[in-house]
Amino acid sequence: MKTLSPTQKRSWLECRGQWDYNYQMGLVPTQVTEAMDAGRKFHEVLADYYQVPYEERSEQWLVRRCGEDDERTMKFVRQYWKRFGRDSEVVGVQTEAEVRVDLGVFGIDLVVAHAFVDALKVTPEKVIFWEHKTGEKPDQEFYAFFNPQIYDIGWMLWEVYKRPVRCVVTCVGSGGAWRYDMAMPSDLHKNTREEWEEVAKDIYERRLPIIYTRTLNCKRCFYYELCFARVTGGLEDYSMFGRKETQ
């Protein structure tokens, strides 16, 4: 069985070279930035916080869970508490919830669309999922309205539960916290499965060649230096990367 995540799908569509480095070769940076580490820890703190009974939630609980010596993550925690407090909107949810949708057999393997959502609540009438984004100044509008991964996860949840889906995006930065609540388009399911199936077919059945695509995001890519060296015939330096298990 092969798994295909929204991030992997987006990577394939935007730049197959990036996909190759990440998902085929399994290259991961050996040095994690402070911002990345703080974002990961903040997600962990909120996952635990949402499991605390509403009446027992407090700023002190968040501070203890975070650890006062972790200044960068603490900034996120303080801003979150200042804006949302006990957060009555997020009660009775599953955290780090797994979502899976069978796409079919491509080549010789069953391919499954696979994702985790930060928080999930399923009722007889609708499905709500929460996604958290952090940064010094997170791009709120992009994360809320233009991020294709949000819509991919919305489609996956529609496929599983066959009911209306809403997404709540929480953006937390050092200067404040914001939240956007939006309904997934009612016709989201019409063309999305076909797009997923085409990507699965390209990767696992057609085995299309790797193409290095130049975009405005190239210099923000972890693999920029490797990619530049490869396309210009230079020396590829892999010393800053480790390897993860690939599928």
Beta strand 27-29 with 127-135: parallel, antiparallel or unpaired? unpaired
Burial 144-182 (b: 16+ CB within 10 A, else e): beebeebbbbbbbbbbebeeebbbbbbbbbeeebbbbee
pTM attached to this predicted model: 0.88
80 close to 177: Cβ distance less than 8 angstroms: yes
pLDDT values of the chain reduced to their tens digit, one per residue, 247 residues: 999 999 999 999 989 999 999 999 999 888 777 778 888 999 999 999 999 999 999 999 999 999 878 888 999 999 999 999 999 999 999 999 999 999 999 988 999 999 999 999 999 999 999 999 887 555 555 555 668 888 999 999 999 999 999 999 998 987 889 888 888 877 777 778 999 999 999 999 988 888 888 777 788 888 889 888 888 888 888 888 888 765 5
Tokens of residue 219, six digits: 């210099």
Beta strand 2-4 with 27-29: parallel, antiparallel or unpaired? unpaired
Q: Residue 66's pLDDT is what?
A: 93
Chain centroid to CA 124: 26
